[in-house]
Chains A and B, each alone.
Chain A
Amino acid sequence: MLNHLLKLMWNKRRSNGLIFLEILLAFVVLFGVYAFGFYNLDRYSSPLGFSYENSVGVHMDIPDDMDSLAVIQLQERILRETRELPGVASATFLGPVNPFGGNTWSTGSDDNGFHLQTMMVFADENYAETLELEFREGHWFTEADQAGKYDPIVVNGKFVDEYYPTRESMIDSIILINGEKKIIGVVDNYKYHSNFAENRPLTFFSPRSWRADGQSPFEQMIVRAEPGQTAAIEEPIYNLLSSLTKNPDVVIWNMAQDRIKANRPVVIPLVILISISAFLLINIALGLFGVLFTQISHRRAEIGLRKAMGATPGEVTVQFVLEVVLVTFAGLLLGVFFAVQVPLLELLPIPAKFFYFGIVAAVVTILLIVVLCALIPSRQAAGLHPALVLHED
């Protein structure tokens, strides 16, 4: 049977050559799109870990000529008066690294050969409450924690999973990150660049660590509004802050919109790629259908003969479908050969499993389309009555 089919294929090598090429190219495109898609889907599935839906970000300019005590008093007053505004649920100050802001600060430390690398976020005592962080263990820093011997830090779950996977509890551990720091809490998740960012180890530092570096004061705030009040609180906050800081440079942004903007660099190419490949697939399916339809209808005499010799419609259908599937296999084989080079030679800095998923998904999709496109004309042809077909010739 197989020998017979291969002979048939070889006899029609010209038109099969084009189908082969088409399958090969389609596989390459699909493989790329699937691998990219799976990779980003995997990242998207890891949660952000904080609430942004009703929050706004605020940037203000605190005058440079104030001394540090006056700055602290001003910040306390800003927080107090912001919370008193109608519609405001909670407010917090944070350092220059804000969610969806596109900034990355990171630091590494080498503790007697134990190397760790972590992203840095600086925030004040109200951060966990305003962003509704969920804790795996411990708690957020309080005033009391900052008065202790060690600077307190809070880390995210990924930090523990990556560097201390076997430890039962991290609370009260003293570790080396820019000096000795005491872990007082572990949040479940916190990844802040975008939904498509990689979940990486991260550490929250308290205002005490920030001030120790002699940096300029926190000039960003996150204000969480009561549900539905997000747009309404923007103008009162603007008026309040520009009068308190005596500077009109107050910029307010909606965090929900900021998230969409931060996701855009992945979402836009993804949407474009998916819609283009969907179009290519439809195009290929229709084209293949047309080609097979013409080809098969040219072989009516052959079908009639086979049926007259006792072949069932099922057998005829299987023969036609198998013919096309064989050509497809040849194309896919060559495609897979090229595709596996990507993870094997580590051409791209993406985990290998996504490429294997991509290969499998692309093979399945193409086979499905080919079988569907071959099945319909084959079945139609197989249903022909031998007397009718043979009579025509």
Chain B
Amino acid sequence: MIKNYLTLALKVLRRKPFYTFISLFGISFTLMILMLITSMGDALFGANRPMSDVNRMVFLPMLERYTEFYDTLYAVDTIVMDDGTLRYDSTETLEPNGSMNNSNGQMSFSFLDKNLRGLSDVESYTFVSNSSFTDAYLDGRKVTMSTSYVDASYWEVFDFRFLHGLPFGVDDVAEANKVAVITERIADSYFGEMNPGIIGREMILGNETFRVVGIVERPLKDDDTIAGDIFLPLTTIDARQYANTETYGPFQAVFKATSAAKRESIKQQLTFLAENFVIPPDADYEHIRLYAGTATENFAANLMQESDASKAKLLLFVPLITLLVLFLALPLINLINLNVSRVFERKSEIAVRKAFGAESRDILYQFIFENLVLTFIGGFIGLVLAYLIIQYVNANDLIGIVRLSFSGKIFFYFILVILLFGLLSGILPAYRMSRTTIATALR
């Protein structure tokens, strides 16, 4: 039966090449773009290496220092007493008047070291500074490297895939050993090759020499904390930065909770900590606030320049989803439109089938099936196109260091999307076709 339907479907498609082309064009491009969006979305929000546990992570990218301004309100109430005398009642209230002096930025190592160790519900945590760049010159060729200074637990929080070698450990960090973990991209551009032989070789960064101990794969996820080209023990950072006792510095913190639900607890502990932080007596600010949030919250807050995470999420995702729905609706309506107007062409075929005893249901299934065949062909073309574009994007680093993946998970989503698209665009026309009355059609 299925085989019959399939042969029929392909015959019909071949009979009118122009219409088949129009339909396939719409389907394949729409699905290609959907595929690319899914792939980007996966890189932005998915739980991929080296952030497989992103759903348990709390990020603390910055600290705000602020001083609120207060207004003194002085009010005098007059009350006439029973005996005709006046009584005066004055109140004085001190209220924040809404304006404040504030500044925000990343934190210093000493601040993190002193205050943020020993939170409960935390499985592991790391302090990382990723705001430095190092230029290295090799035979007159410039290699610019984004440099991350990290502690040993960084490699526990993030599950980087080591292509060769191993991460540096607690001892290396404690003794400020000159060791480095580099990404495959830097291995390739600095040494001109990528093989196990690079482990143990030396790199000259500035006027210091570092020994390469590990090479990691490029991240499959886009995030600031893992976007470094080269990772060094945080004790090797500029001595002034390391000893700095101000609250500000180049560091941020990432906590991995024991479970996804415990993230709230960590955020609350951080809020509590900020509220009860003892401000140094000579400081020019009165309060601090810690901006802790999940990866998605921080992403939205950052993009929308909105410090309230839930509002930022709304601001970002409502227009984005509207746009996506609009984008999907147009080709879908187009396809439905095309299918509906082509019902007439096959009226006599349906009428003949019905006259020989086919039920409306059979006709309905047949046409939905035909439409699915068309969608799958279009989907396949879209898949090939999307694959080519992803390869191009990855090869040319068009979106930074992140690599777009083409995983089984995405493929599964994709099949779902094709099915949905096929069903949605097929049901209305198929329903109309199946209701054809024999008498009028065969007239």
Q: Which residues of A contact B (CB under 8 A)?
A: 14-15, 18-19, 21-22, 25-26, 28-29, 64, 234-235, 238, 242, 248-253, 276, 279-280, 282-284, 286-291, 294-295, 298
Contact = CB atoms under 8 A, between A and B. Distances in A.
A73 to B, nearest CB: 23
Given A235-B142, A294-B345, A283 B338 contact: no
A291 B337 contact: yes
B206 interface: yes
Contacts of A18: 333, 336-337, 340
A294 B326 contact: no
A297 to B, nearest CB: 9
B344 interface: yes
Contacts of A283: 25-26, 29-30, 330-331, 334
Contacts of B333: 18, 21-22, 25
A64 B344 CA distance: 84
Contacts of B331: 280, 283
B317 interface: no
Interface of B: 18-19, 22, 25-26, 29-30, 33, 133-135, 137, 140, 142, 144, 205-208, 238, 240, 326-327, 329-331, 333-338, 340-342, 344-345
A302 to B, nearest CB: 14
A286 B30 CA distance: 14
A238 B135 contact: yes
Contacts of A248: 205-208
Interface of B: prevailing SS: helix
Interface of A: prevailing SS: helix
Given A283-B25, A284-B330, A298-B344, 15 more contacts: A18-B340, A19-B337, A21-B333, A28-B326, A29-B326, A238-B135, A238-B137, A248-B205, A248-B206, A276-B327, A286-B25, A287-B22, A290-B18, A294-B344, A295-B341
Contact of A287 (B33, B205, B208, B338): B338
Contacts of B341: 15, 290-291, 294-295
A46 B149 CA distance: 41
A286 B27 CA distance: 12
Contact of B33 (A21, A29, A276, A286): A276
B327 A22 contact: no
A287 B334 contact: yes
8 tightest A-B CB contacts, nearest first: A248-B206, A287-B334, A18-B337, A286-B22, A294-B341, A291-B341, A248-B207, A283-B26
Contacts of A15: 337, 340-341
A173 B110 CA distance: 49
Contacts of B340: 14-15, 18
Contacts of B240: 64
B112 to A, nearest CB: 23
Contacts of B205: 248
B334 A235 contact: no
Contact of A280 (B133, B140, B330): B330
Contacts of A22: 330, 333-334, 337
Nearest to B132: A249
B22 A29 contact: no
Given A235-B140, A249-B206, A252-B142, A284 B334 contact: yes
A52 to B, nearest CB: 18
Given A294-B342, A294-B345, A287 B206 contact: no
B314 to A, nearest CB: 15
B29 A251 contact: no
Contacts of A238: 135, 137
Nearest to B340: A15
Nearest to B398: A268
19 contacts: A18-B337, A18-B340, A19-B337, A26-B330, A28-B326, A29-B326, A29-B330, A235-B142, A248-B208, A249-B206, A251-B133, A251-B134, A252-B142, A276-B33, A283-B334, A286-B26, A287-B337, A288-B337, A289-B22
A35 to B, nearest CB: 14
A22 B340 CA distance: 14
A26 B33 CA distance: 17
Contacts of A253: 144
Contact of B135 (A29, A252, A280, A288): A252
